Amino acid sequence: MIEVKDVFFTYTNNVEALKGVSLKIREGDFVAIMGQNGAGKTTLVKHFNGLLKPTKGSVIVNGVDTREESVAKLSRRVGFVFQNPDSQLFCETVEEEVAFALRNFGFQEKVIKTRVEWAINLLGLTRYRQTSPFMLSGGERKRVALASVLAWDPDVVILDEPTIGQDYQQKEKLRQFIIQLNTQGKTVVIVTHDVEFVAECNPRVVFMVEGKIVGQGAAKQVLTDRKLLARASIVPPQISQIFMGLADFGLPTDVIDVYEAKEILLDFLEAKS
Amino acid sequence: MVGVLCESRAVDETLAIIETSDLTYTYPGGTEPSLVDVSLTIEKGEFVILTGPSGCGKTTLCRCFNGLVPHFYSGKLEGDTTVAGFRVSEHSIYELAKHVGLVFQNPENQLFALSVEKDVAFGLENLGLPREEMKRQVDWALQMTGIADLRERAPHELSGGQQQRVAIASVIAMKPDVMVLDEPTSFLDPLGAQKIFEVIDGLNKELGITVILVEHRLDLASKYANHVIVMDEGKVVLDGKPLDVFSSEDARLIGVGIPKATRLYQALRESGVHLNSIPVNSQEASLLLQEVLTRDRG
């Protein structure tokens, strides 16, 4: 579905943000791209809907080279939710904001109404329908941005730092919601620093360092691989840290989930007694 | 630097540094109040975490501490706020700025100068500091936040994380009595966030600056705090020591991001395994678990 082939990208200020990245994202994949600030994560995903075009190499989306397609056309299939919602919001009410892209894509008014309704309910924004997005808190604006992208039902949803400004409950909703989208066959790509969120979502994880991919695999493997974590300067999830501290007891070290951790500890205690 | 700041620090040491009583506030054009009967006391030198669901009024409360509410936002305000001995309603934002530094949630709202250095120096220029002292404080702030090499760069060209450091530098340069930081690390990766928390912790411990940190990422931040305030729907619903707040059932119900180490403790307790105390970070959890595993083994 998305194929990144040996992509290099240099910004106009001569910063080389991508240095030979190759990555395949298949239909229905759920991928988290992780790495430090400045590792090139956002630069990479901006290539997926053609916002950026490679300086060298190529990005193929649904068989089409992004250099030969307009962003408008690519966006219809690949929706992008920005890190900073203020980069994306500008309408006077939440409702208009969510409807805006739908109008642009030329949907019928009746369809627009249903889609807006659906997206606003889905993200718990019903009471803000007539409110200006700029009156809302940072976390709420983020949800408006997400609603406005989901409304047009793209095949691929890219979320750049979706958990910023979200409280625990919202994160839990977001997680269920991402899993739901993914179960329905949507391809989901998240860019995030939030290692605990990734530990709970359990996607395929791609680590980036200085414009390159340095490792990838299942969350459980990658987020407990000390060497790789150190190389990508990522703090392991708390549960993984706790189990690193229990290595002497012969317990498994590839644990990132609270409930799995509990089961393992209970089994261990059971066996001893 | 010491001279100017001491003069402005005519604060009675025995007073709470921030006190609000029955604060109720509605934004202009708002239908419901964003703050409802908020009464709280923050002592001088505390490291406070202010948390709660998004939209619960945290940012609004922060705006009351430096006078943005009511002087900038107007709207309808009832009740009283006293910060560093000043009744906020009776003093201008400019006067309050010497005592309360606010780091905004979105750094782009705060940065405007053509270079990082100028942005960091801006507040000091307004305080009328002599050039040499100003330079020293700017250098110090840039060092503390790890952005000395960015001093000539334009803030708007920097990454979100770098901008957040600039915003923090421009506030700490003024060495205020109180620093209010509204999710200051949201754009930073965990290591970058930890570094910033350590900087803030250092300012709190070494200079006695009272810190109010709005934060969802309690996994990372909780170990620095000695006071946690949880808000929900404009009200203060929990107010106390970190351990008491995190282990309360209410905290879970209103969706505070309890650290995983504490969640594991809770999950084990539900299954009848008791640790000797409640861990809030992974190190504590490992040690407590080692005790239990060894005990049951022997």
DSSP letters of A67-85?
Answer: GGS-HHHHHHHEEEE-SSG
pLDDT at B199 over 50: yes
| Cβ–Cβ contact B257 with A under 8 A | yes
- With CB atoms and an 8 Å threshold, state whether A135 touches B29: yes
Q: What is the mean pLDDT of residues B273-283?
A: 86
| Cβ–Cβ contact B154 with A under 8 A | no
Q: Percent of chain B at pLDDT above 70?
A: 91
Q: What is the mean pLDDT of residues B40-65?
A: 91
pLDDT digits (tens, 9 = 90+) for A72-84: 889 889 999 988 7
Question: Which strand ranges, in their side-by-side order, compose the sheet holding A2-10?
Answer: A16-25, A2-10, A56-61, A64-65
- With CB atoms and an 8 Å threshold, state whether A170 touches B59: no
- With CB atoms and an 8 Å threshold, state whether A239 touches B264: yes
Q: Which of B219, B256, B191, B194 is nearest to A256 (CA)?
A: B219
Confidence at B2, pLDDT banded by 50, 70, 90:
very low
Longest dimension (CA), chain B: 68
- Distance between CA atoms of residues A181 and B79, nearest Å: 46
Contact call for residues B103 and B181 (beta carbons, < 8 A): yes
Q: At what angle do helices A94-104 and A109-122 cross, to 10 degrees?
A: 130
Q: What is the mean pLDDT of residues B153-182?
A: 86
pTM: 0.74
- With CB atoms and an 8 Å threshold, state whether A37 touches B105: no
Q: Which of the four CATH numbers 3.40.50.300, 3.20.20.140, 3.10.180.10, 3.30.70.20 does domain A2-236 have? A: 3.40.50.300
Touching A: B residues 50-69, CB under 8 Å = 51-56, 59
Task: Mark the ranges of chain A whose per-residue pLDDT is less than 70.
Answer: none
| Chain B residue numbers touching A235 (CB-CB < 8 A) | 190-191, 194
Q: What separation in angstroms does the CA of B204 have from each of A76, B47, B144, B169?
A: 49, 7, 13, 15
Chain A residue closest to B58 (CA)?
A137
pLDDT at B163: 86
Can you name the residues that pair with B19 across neighbouring β-strands? B41, B82
**Which superfamily, per CATH, for B2-113+176-256?**
P-loop containing nucleotide triphosphate hydrolases (3.40.50.300)
pLDDT at B108: 72
Q: Which of A234, A179, A184, A238 is nearest to A208 (CA)?
A: A234
Q: Quick one: tokens of A24?
A: 């395949």
Q: What is the mean pLDDT of residues B30-59?
A: 91
Distance of CA A218 to the CA centre of its chain: 15
pLDDT at B14: 53
- With CB atoms and an 8 Å threshold, state whether B287 touches A13: no
Residue type, A233: S
Question: Where are chain B's structural domains?
Answer: 2-113+176-256, 259-298
Higher pLDDT, B246 or A269: A269
pLDDT at A7: 97
Q: What is the mean pLDDT of residues B271-298?
A: 84
Q: What separation in angstroms does the CA of B163 have from each of B132, B155, B180?
A: 25, 6, 17
List the single range of B5-14, B62-71, B230-239, B272-281 with lowest mean pLDDT. B5-14
Most confidently modeled range among A36-40, A249-253, B36-40, B109-113: B36-40
| Option in B160, B183, B193 nearest A84 (CB) | B160
Contact call for residues A81 and A149 (beta carbons, < 8 A): yes
Confidence at B231, pLDDT banded by 50, 70, 90:
very high
pLDDT at B252: 65
| Chain B residue numbers touching A139 (CB-CB < 8 A) | 54-55
| Chain B residue numbers touching A137 (CB-CB < 8 A) | 54-55, 59
Confidence at B162, pLDDT banded by 50, 70, 90:
confident
pLDDT at B248: 77
pLDDT at B256: 67
Question: Which strand ranges, in their side-by-side order, compose the sheet holding A156-160?
Answer: A78-81, A156-160, A187-191, A30-35, A204-209, A212-218
Å between B242 CA and nearest CA of chain A: 17
Q: What are phi and psi of A188, to 5 degrees?
A: -120, 130
Confidence at B296, pLDDT banded by 50, 70, 90:
low
Can you name the residues that pair with A187 across neighbouring β-strands? A156
Higher pLDDT, B219 or A147: A147
